[in-house]
């Protein structure tokens, strides 16, 4: 995901922020408030950012942070030299924030459906979430959506991409990730600057996920040690098991919502399936020796909104991996992905399904 140092404001296209505010003024006070907090949050983030080289040259920089910034700089160089990702100023500055997440995303769906509510913005197009720089503001908006009968999730986000419009910084919210996970995040967010189709989160996130996976595999081959590779294998296996758990629950819920049962019966079955999901997670967690990396997913009552985006990040990954294998080079792969992205949505998704099926993977496209 699926997201600015006042001393460098002259290099920032302020017109983009003003355009967003102008659009809000033409809409409503609610939108104006939202765009204002977004603009202020972005600018505050940039104001806090300093070049990584300055941090590394500063004798007062904490040794642990110095190590993490050096690792991030090496990963950033690898992204350009070996993955063909943009050689710009993104992830070459660092900002230390006094909060656990950079933004909080609000995702909402109807009570008996996985079709997420959408919000449309300048540049990014329509997306299935609404981001806030204040957790309280996100929770306030979530309260309004719940009052309207929707299922809602408020989730903290460690990083996001501005699609190259601004110099996205490294942030304290993710700088302490293990090297492979730091590489995964940087590769993912930079890939959004290479190919992005407004209004098609399923395409965008699957593409970025495919780039991050292939990129980290190659990075580990060159720079990883035995322990790092083993940890990455373990992490990836746990991630796949957890995603499969969520997908199984989602599919069962989809069958429930599509059935001819009455609303009351569907609600009861929904509650049963969501309780079972949490019970199954406890069992899975035990098989991991108590690893608690996914506990925060259940920090608030589980709902459709928690499961709405699962397919978005995974459905087309096999298709993009097959395309990369066919093209062999990242630059050729990006060019082909752009061509597919220029197609009409139905044809775009049909092409991706064909790629996945040719590679032996069945894709279930969610609309």
pLDDT at 241 > cutoff 50: yes
Average pLDDT for 175-198: 96
State yes or no: pLDDT of 9 exceeds 90.
Answer: no
Regarding beta strands 170-171 and 93-95, do their DSSP bridges make them parallel or antiparallel, or are they unpaired? Answer: parallel
Q: What is the rounded end-to-end Cα distance, in angstroms, of the chain? A: 19
Strand pairing category for 125-127 and 119-121: antiparallel
**Residue 178 predicted with pLDDT over 60:** yes
What is the DSSP secondary-structure string of 295-340? GGGGSS---HHHHHTHHHHHTTHHHHHHHHHHH-SHHHHHHHHHHH
Give the per-residue pLDDT at 4.
Answer: 27
Residue 301 CA to residue 274 CA, distance in Å, equals 9
- Residue 246's nearest CA partner among 316, 289, 309 is 309
Whether residue 325 is predicted with pLDDT greater than 80 in this model: the reply is yes
Helix (H, G, I), strand (E, B) or coil at 58: coil
Q: Which residue has the higher pLDDT, 182 or 362?
A: 182
* Tens-digit pLDDT profile for residues 254-266: 999 999 999 999 9
Nearest to 90 by CA among 205, 221, 193: 193
Task: Count other Cβ atoms within 10 Å, centred on residue 367.
Answer: 8
Among 339, 310, 308, 306, residue whose Cα is nearest residue 323 = 339
Q: What is the structure's pLDDT at 190? A: 97
Per-residue pLDDT tens digits for 81-95: 999 999 999 999 999
């Amino acid at each position: 995901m699926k997201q600015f140092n006042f001393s460098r404001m002259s290099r920032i296209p302020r017109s983009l922020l003003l355009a967003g505010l102008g659009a809000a003024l033409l809409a409503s006070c609610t939108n104006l408030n939202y765009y204002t907090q977004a603009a202020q949050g972005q600018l505050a983030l940039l104001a806090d950012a300093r070049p990584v080289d300055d941090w590394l040259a500063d004798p007062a920089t904490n040794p642990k942070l110095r190590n993490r910034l050096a690792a991030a700089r090496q990963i950033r160089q690898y992204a350009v030299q070996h993955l063909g990702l943009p050689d710009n100023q993104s992830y070459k500055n660092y900002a230390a924030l006094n909060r656990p997440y950079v933004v909080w995303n609000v995702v909402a769906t109807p009570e008996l459906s996985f079709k997420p509510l959408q919000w449309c913005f300048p540049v990014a197009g329509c997306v299935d979430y609404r981001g806030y720089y204040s957790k309280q503001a996100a929770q306030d908006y979530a309260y309004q959506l719940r009052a309207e009968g929707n299922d809602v999730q408020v989730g903290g986000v460690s990083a996001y991409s501005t699609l190259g419009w601004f110099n996205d910084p490294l942030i304290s919210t993710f700088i302490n990730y293990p090297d492979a996970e730091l590489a995964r995040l940087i590769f993912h967010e930079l890939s959004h600057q290479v190919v992005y189709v407004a209004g098609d989160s399923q395409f965008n996130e699957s593409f970025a996920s495919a780039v991050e996976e292939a990129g980290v595999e190659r990075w580990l081959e060159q720079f990883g040690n035995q322990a790092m590779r083993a940890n990455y294998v373990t992490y990836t296996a746990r991630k796949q098991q957890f995603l499969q758990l969520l997908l199984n629950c989602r599919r069962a819920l989809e069958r429930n919502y599509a059935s001819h049962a009455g609303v009351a019966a569907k609600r009861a079955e929904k509650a049963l399936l969501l309780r079972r999901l949490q019970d199954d997670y406890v069992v899975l967690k035990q098989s991991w020796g108590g690893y608690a990396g996914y506990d925060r997913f259940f920090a608030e009552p589980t709902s459709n909104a928690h499961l709405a985006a699962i397919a978005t990040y995974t459905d087309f990954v096999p298709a993009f991996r097959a395309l990369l294998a066919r093209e062999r080079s990242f630059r050729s792969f990006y060019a082909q992905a752009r061509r597919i992205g220029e197609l009409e949505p139905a044809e775009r998704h049909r092409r991706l399904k064909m790629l996945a099926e040719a590679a032996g993977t069945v894709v279930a496209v969610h609309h």
